[in-house]
Structure formats: C-alpha cells, structure tokens
Chains A and B, each alone.
Chain A
C-alpha cells in the first residue's frame, strides 16, 4: 500500500517535472541533476550520520553559484534522506563550509577547485560537481551529459580519501576516474 502510494506520488511528481521541463530547458537539466543527487544518497553510506531524532538534519551544501534554484529545495522538502529531513545550505566560499554531508561544487568554483578539494579531503563529505575536470581534480562524483542522458564519473581515490562507503552498483554506472591511490 505504501509502495503504491509512493509510486503514485513519484509518478505524478515526475509527470509534473516533465511538464515543467518543457518550457525551461536549463532548469529541467538541473532538476534531473537534483534528482540524481537524491538518488546518489541511496548508494552512499555516511559514517557520521546523526540519529533520526527530529533535531538533526541531512545537510546538502551548494558552493558557488546555485544552478538548481528552488527545484532542489522543493525536491528535498518532501523527501527525507537516510530518514533525516534535508537542509539545503548555500555558501559562496569554501571557508564558510560547516559540517555537511553533500557538497555540490558549482561550475563557478572551477578555478579554486583544487583548494576546495584539498579543503574537504579526508572528510566524509560527498563532493559532487557538474564541471568537466572536477573528477580528475578530486571531486568524488562529477555529472556530465551524454546523448541527452545525464551520466556521472567517479573518482575512486577521492572516495577512498573521504571515508564514505559507496555502493559498487553506483560505481558500475559511473565512468571511473583514477584509482584508489593508497
């Protein structure tokens, strides 16, 4: 029953999204990318997740220019990750970065990428980007577009560094960049 309700809800939501994407190409792309972020959470285990007691939040931080707009807020407003309510934080500088579970590094930060990567390195933060070269730079997951499908690449070394547990099934779909160095 629950499955049906969820399925029906998801179904209508997707239907709505598709309708919205018709007129707003750019947003439609990030809409999908926001959904991808949500999907990634299913394949990642965070070692420092708080207990679901209603106080703690699952934190997603967007660094730099926000390409998602309100879509991401809307998406996570209704969806819980790891049974935790989701909090979207937006920062412009890496120094502002507090504790977070996911760090989306916007295209705008491509010049400072190495420093950013260095900054979150060895921390259990899932770094996600959608800029070419980010993965090589040490971002864990990097979205790209191919034949009208959103695909992603993964840096195994970065995963290893982060201490996150990434489901191999996720990696199966990813283009692997770099090997675990240690």
Chain B
C-alpha cells in the first residue's frame, strides 16, 4: 500500500482515501456481520442441535419405552446424514446405554462432560443432554456431541466469501473513486495547472473560470482575487524595477562616461573604479581592485608625504578637508595634477570613501602660462615705453653725431670722439631693439618661408658662433610645410637659443665628450588630444623647431623665469638677460608658441611651434635686402616729428641729400602746412606717437585730401594704430627708430620709387 505522503497527487490521494474508506467501512460492516453471524450461528447451531435432540428424542421414545434397542439403533443411524453430529447416546433411566451412534467407528464413551439437562460449548464441540419424556414421564436421556468444526467451516467459507466481496468492493470503489474523484480533483487540478501556467509564463492576466459553487467556487474566486492583487503588485514592481533600471543605467552611464575619474576606496582598497580612472592611471580594473594594490602607487613621489600626512590625520580622527590637489602618476609614469573631491559614504554597509578625481593638469598649465604671459606683457609694456623715449634720444644723439661728422672742418680728435658716440649709439640702439623685440614692438614682415632654408643659410655663421668642442647637429625634416614668419627673426631666435645652449653646456663643470647641440625641425599634427602635452589652442599641422643641448638644465623655478628680461643665471657681464626674452617676444609675434623641457643636469630642449602655412603659397627664398643704388632725391618731404632733436637731424640729413623738406612739430601744424603746399608734397614722413594728433590720424586726414600720397611712419615702437601685433597693414611703410641717415634715405627712396615693403 502506498504511503499517504507528499508524493502522491491529489487524484491518487482522493482515490486512496475513497478506497480506504470504502474498504474499511465495508470491512467493519462485514466484521460486524461476521461477529453477529458467529453469535447467530452458534445460537442457531445450538438451537438446531436442540431441535435435533427433540426430534431424536421424539423418535426414540417408543423404542425406549418398549426397550427396542435394535430399532433405536436404526433410528439413530439416520443421524449419519447430519454432518455435525458426532455422537449420540441414549441412556435409560438406569443410566445404562440404551442405544448409541458414533461417527467415529472405534468410538468409546470415555467421558461425558455434563450429566444434567442442558448444553455446553467446549472447544469446537457442543455437548447436549436432553431428557426423553413421554407424557411428562422421563424414560431416559439423550446425549449429543455436535462438532462445531462444521460451523467453523461454514464461517470460514463465509469469511472467504466476504473477502471476495471486500475485494470486489475495493475494486468497485477504486473505479468509482477514480471516476468520481474528478468532481473534486478536476477543479483543484485545473486550479493547480492554471497556477502553474501562470507562474511559468508570469502572465498574471489569466483568470480562472468559475464552473461550480461551493468551496471550490469560493476558492476560485479567492485565487482570482489573489491574482488581481498579484497582477497589480507585479505591475507596480515592474514599473518600479523599470524605473530603477533606468535610474541605475542613467547613474551608471554618468559614472562610466564621466570625464572625472571616480572610485570607491574601502579599507584602503579600491572596490570600484570607472573607465576614466583606468584611462588615467593605465592600471586595469583587475589590477586596481586587487587586494594587494597600494593606492599610494597612484601618487607621484613628491605628493606622497602630503597624502600620507592627510591619511595619518584622518586616522587620528582630525577633520580634514574633502578637497585635495596632488600630483598623480600613471602606470607608465605620466604625471597629472589632480583635484580629489572626497566624500565619506557607506558601501555595502561599511564606511568607504567616494573619490572624484579631476585632471587639472591642463588648467594648471594654462593658468601658469597665462600668468607668465601676463607677466611678460607687463614687462614688455614697460620695456617698450622706455625704448620709445630712449630711441628718440638715441636718434638725436646719433643723428647729430653723424651731422657733425659730415662737417669736414673738424679735427681728427673730435672726429674720433664723434665716431665713438655713433658706435655707442649703435650699441644702445641694438639693446633697445632687443628690448622691443621682446615686447613685440619690433616691426616684422611675415613671409611664407621654408624654415629649413633659413637654418641652412645660417649654418656657417652658427658654427662660428659656437666653440669648436661643441658638436652642432642638424636634424631637419625635409618635408616640413612652409610657415609664415620673418626670416630675420628666425635667425635671431636661432642665435639666441644656440648661444644659450652653449652657455648651458659650458656652465656644466664636467664636460662630456659628446657635448652637442641639436637643431631639429619636424612637422607635427596637434589636435585637442595632444593639448594635454602641448597646450596649443589650435588644431592642425605645426612645424616644430627644436634646439636641444646637453647642458646643465634648469630647475622649475629657473624655467618659470627664463623669458623675463634681464633674468640671467650667467655670471656678470656674460649675458644681458635679454636673449631668451627676445626669443619669447618674437615667438609671440610670429603667432607661434614656445615650450621648454628641461631636466637639471641633463640638458634642455626649446621647442617652437609654428602653425604650418596651408595656403598654397610658394615659400619665398630668403635673401638679404637689396640695397637701392640711389639714395638721393629732389622730391618734397613733409617731415613731422615732435622731438626737436630728431626733427632737426632728419631735416638736415634729408636736405643734404637733395630733398626739399617741410618740417612740422605736431600734427596740427603738419595739416596746415600740407594744405598750404598741397600738390607740391610727394611724401609724408611722420612720427607715430605725438601729443594731440598721432601720426596715424594725421596720415588719415591727409589721405582724405590726397589718397595717392606716400606715407612713411617712424617710431621707436609701433603702436596699434599702425600695426597690429607689430605687423604692418597693406600699403603702410615704416621705419624703426633710431635710424641712420642712410637708413632713412634708403627707406624714403623705396617708398617713393614704389619698391616693395619696408
């Protein structure tokens, strides 16, 4: 019999229960009937035996009365046909055996268990004693032994029958139960099947069809109601989950796309980092989050003490700022300046630190550059201001010295002195030019040139400039694109840089056998990505001119000041401190950028980036200015100069060269003179910076009257009215103060003859 456990299906259980109940109840019924039968059969048996005794007694009464033993025996022998009668004995009144019958052939009357009227069940035998009466007179006794084995057989047979019936009932019950259990199990199985479908498909919109009333119907209603609730709940969960997913993915997106490196640090170990972190530090996610990874590996050595101090202070429980700027180092050794913004958070139930790292390297560099540029600008303005006035003085001194020399009646000693004055003036003029170069007030004419040509033209001169034990190497990329620059200024740059390199090499106490200066050119493409390294604010092709040396190199502090005028590390009298300043100024003026890379003790490299000239313009081959053969003339010149010394010198000099000179001390006067002599004047030579009316305004007003008039500006430094960033506008002529007579004459001739620029 199968156990009634969990593994049975409802159907099996129902069938089992029904069959069990049927069999048990039938069995109980049969048992009761059997018990009843047992009693009934015994009684019945007893009654039968009694009846039989009566009948036998009646039948043998006459034999007994008339003592007919023979007939009595014959009568008793008929009892053979009664199967349960084992023995019958008739006693007469004297207790003698009158007649007897025994089923067993060799029977002997051993013991009679009862002597008086009555019956007795003993074992499987019924003993009965019956007095034989005739008309109230007893004539003897009838003794019967009846075997209940017969009865037992009957009962046993009956039991077998019952068992068969029970078996049939069980089978019938099984089939009926199997048939009828469906009324109960079908709705429940249907319920279970539908619920299973629902749970598998997770389709909570399904509903059960109520087919019946009663408990099953109520159960269906209950389940339907439950499904309503679940469906609503599911929907809610789904939308919440959806929202959560969306939110999660949004936040993940932010986390992953953030341009700031983010991390979660717990117990000094990284537990979470974002892609930018990996990109920045170049350690993989696995490396970073490995348990043995020390976060100090990401800190540059110079910042480690500060970070450690912060760490110790935090450990001591002191309040520390949640912002820190430090230098970080990547796996490959790239250094960054990072600002870390730190928040204390809970991560997985334990305290952790959320850090956001922002790379401010470019920002810091730009800030430094800006600061540097502002400083340079200020210094340049100062230098330019001084140079302006200084140039005027110099022009006067030099001019008058030259005029004095022109006068022939001077003695030899005076002449010598005058020459010394002129020489001194030349030196002073050179110095101011350099200053002006730095302050970007030098007048340049930008031409499209090939930088390699310029360098090659200078090669011999450079060699002479540098001591012989220093090797100069040229590494010129033949494919560099042309640039727009002033060739003369490139020369100036190169000379300054090479002299500076030589000084750096010579400043080194131990000379290496391979002391060398490398001059290299190359073409590079810079885009926003490389701005991190080369913070040029433009994108495109650049020509790089680099000058490297194996000299002493520079410290950061020196590096930050090298472009300042008069800053020098060289010993007294060895340098002016203006060389690199001039280079800086020129670079700025040429729309280029300069960078310095230096390691103390190892050497320095100066790199200048020129934007490549992309316009299809053939580079002019560089050549020294052609000198005009004739510098004399007879044209009329309107000479405007507020500085008396200069005006005086200019007028005298030009007159001596055959020109007619009309002079004016200021713009107003010049205008009046121009109106007065209109038509006669061929050229206007004017100072640019004058009180009341500047040279530019003057020129504009005069050009309104006569647009074809030639104009030559002269200035110690150019002002914005005439030049933009030191570059002349189209059709504007300019002469740098201080000028010599020859320079002035040559320039005037150029302008008048319409011969090119400057």
Question: In the complex the two chains form, is A169's CB within 8 Å of B59's CB?
Answer: yes
Question: In the complex the two chains form, is B93's CB within 8 Å of A169's CB?
Answer: no
Interface of A is mostly: helix
| Contact of B183 with A by CB under 8 A | no
| Contact of B344 with A by CB under 8 A | no
Report the stretch among B66-74, B167-175, B232-240, B272-280 that lies at the interface: B66-74
Give every chain B residue within 8 A of A149 (Cβ-Cβ). Answer: 67-68
Report the stretch among A3-11, A62-70, A106-114 that lies at the interface: A3-11
Give, as a whole number of angstroms, the nearest-CB distance from A46 to chain B.
14
| Contact of B503 with A by CB under 8 A | no
Question: In the complex the two chains form, is B138's CB within 8 Å of A3's CB?
Answer: yes
| Contact of B663 with A by CB under 8 A | no
Report the stretch among A36-44, A53-61, A124-132 that lies at the interface: A36-44
| Contact of A145 with B by CB under 8 A | no
Question: In the complex the two chains form, is B138's CB within 8 Å of A173's CB?
Answer: no
Q: Pick from A3, A7, A14, A172: contact of B62, CB below 8 A.
A: A172
| Contact of A170 with B by CB under 8 A | yes
Give, as a whole number of angstroms, the nearest-CB distance from B708 to chain A.
192
**A36-B93 contact, Cβ under 8 Å, with A6-B138, A7-B138, A173-B71:** no
Q: Pick from B59, B62, B135: contact of A170, CB below 8 A.
A: B62
Q: CA of A36 to CA of B94 in the docked complex: distance in angstroms?
A: 18
Question: In the complex the two chains form, is A169's CB within 8 Å of B94's CB?
Answer: no
Give every chain A residue within 8 A of B71 (Cβ-Cβ). Answer: 172-173
Residue of B nearest to A41 (CB): B135
| Contact of A167 with B by CB under 8 A | yes
| Contact of B134 with A by CB under 8 A | yes
Q: CA of A154 to CA of B93 in the docked complex: distance in angstroms?
A: 27
Q: CA of A43 to CA of B63 in the docked complex: distance in angstroms?
A: 12
Q: CA of A42 to CA of B134 in the docked complex: distance in angstroms?
A: 7
Mask for A10-30, Cβ within 8 A of B = 1, else 0? Answer: 110010000000000000000
Give, as a whole number of angstroms, the nearest-CB distance from B93 to chain A.
5
Residue of B nearest to A10 (CB): B93
Interfacial residues of chain B within 31-88, with CB under 8 A of chain A in the complex: 58-59, 61-63, 65-68, 71
Residue from B61, B62, B134, B138 having most chain A Cβ neighbours under 10 A: B62
Question: In the complex the two chains form, is A36's CB within 8 Å of B138's CB?
Answer: no
| Contact of B666 with A by CB under 8 A | no
Give every chain A residue within 8 A of B66 (Cβ-Cβ). Answer: 36, 39, 173
Q: Pick from A6, A11, A170, A172: contact of B137, CB below 8 A.
A: A6
Give, as a whole number of angstroms, the nearest-CB distance from A160 to chain B.
20
Give, as a whole number of angstroms, the nearest-CB distance from A165 to chain B.
14
Give every chain A residue within 8 A of B63 (Cβ-Cβ). Answer: 173
Q: Pick from B62, B137, B138: contact of A43, CB below 8 A.
A: B62
| Contact of B131 with A by CB under 8 A | yes
Give, as a whole number of angstroms, the nearest-CB distance from A130 to chain B.
15
Q: CA of A149 to CA of B67 in the docked complex: distance in angstroms?
A: 9
Question: In the complex the two chains form, is A169's CB within 8 Å of B67's CB?
Answer: no
**A42-B65 contact, Cβ under 8 Å, with A3-B131, A10-B93, A172-B71:** yes
Q: Pick from B58, B135, B137, B138: contact of A169, CB below 8 A.
A: B58
**A167-B62 contact, Cβ under 8 Å, with A11-B94, A173-B68, A173-B71:** yes
Mask for B21-35, Cβ within 8 A of A = 1, else 0? Answer: 000000000000000
Interfacial residues of chain B within 244-277, with CB under 8 A of chain A in the complex: none
Question: In the complex the two chains form, is B58's CB within 8 Å of A11's CB?
Answer: no
Mask for A112-156, Cβ within 8 A of B = 1, else 0? Answer: 000000000000000000000000000000000000010100000
Question: In the complex the two chains form, is B135's CB within 8 Å of A42's CB?
Answer: yes
Give, as a whole number of angstroms, the nearest-CB distance from A5 to chain B.
11
Question: In the complex the two chains form, is B131's CB within 8 Å of A39's CB?
Answer: no
Give, as a whole number of angstroms, the nearest-CB distance from B65 to chain A.
5
Q: CA of A173 to CA of B59 in the docked complex: distance in angstroms?
A: 11
Give every chain A residue within 8 A of B59 (Cβ-Cβ). Answer: 169
Give, as a whole number of angstroms, the nearest-CB distance from B94 to chain A.
6
Give, as a whole number of angstroms, the nearest-CB distance from B60 to chain A.
9
Question: In the complex the two chains form, is B61's CB within 8 Å of A11's CB?
Answer: no
Q: CA of A151 to CA of B137 in the docked complex: distance in angstroms?
A: 22
Question: In the complex the two chains form, is B93's CB within 8 Å of A7's CB?
Answer: yes
Give every chain A residue within 8 A of B93 (Cβ-Cβ). Answer: 7, 10-11
**A169-B61 contact, Cβ under 8 Å, with A7-B93, A10-B93:** yes
Q: CA of A151 to CA of B68 in the docked complex: distance in angstroms?
A: 9
Give, as a whole number of angstroms, the nearest-CB distance from B136 to chain A.
8
Residue of B nearest to A4 (CB): B138
Interfacial residues of chain B within 75-121, with CB under 8 A of chain A in the complex: 93-94
Give, as a whole number of angstroms, the nearest-CB distance from B689 to chain A.
183
Residue of A nearest to B117 (CB): A3
Q: CA of A149 to CA of B68 in the docked complex: distance in angstroms?
A: 9
Give, as a whole number of angstroms, the nearest-CB distance from A138 to chain B.
23
Give, as a whole number of angstroms, the nearest-CB distance from A101 to chain B.
16
Q: CA of A14 to CA of B138 in the docked complex: distance in angstroms?
A: 15
Give every chain B residue within 8 A of A42 (Cβ-Cβ). Answer: 65, 134-135, 137
Give every chain A residue within 8 A of B94 (Cβ-Cβ). Answer: 11, 14
Give every chain A residue within 8 A of B68 (Cβ-Cβ). Answer: 149, 151, 173
Mask for B669-702, Cβ within 8 A of A = 1, else 0? Answer: 0000000000000000000000000000000000
- Using A14-B94, A36-B66, A169-B62 as known contacts, list a sample of 12 further A-B pairs with CB atoms less than 8 Å apart, ordered by residue number in A: A3-B131, A6-B137, A7-B138, A43-B62, A149-B67, A169-B59, A170-B62, A172-B62, A172-B71, A173-B62, A173-B66, A173-B71
13 A-B contacts (beta carbon < 8 Å): A3-B131, A3-B138, A6-B138, A7-B138, A14-B94, A42-B134, A43-B62, A149-B68, A169-B58, A169-B61, A172-B62, A173-B63, A173-B66
A residues lining the B interface (CB < 8 Å):
3, 6-7, 10-11, 14, 36, 39, 42-43, 149, 151, 167, 169-170, 172-173
Closest 9 CB pairs of A and B: A169-B62, A3-B138, A39-B65, A7-B93, A173-B62, A42-B135, A173-B66, A173-B68, A42-B134
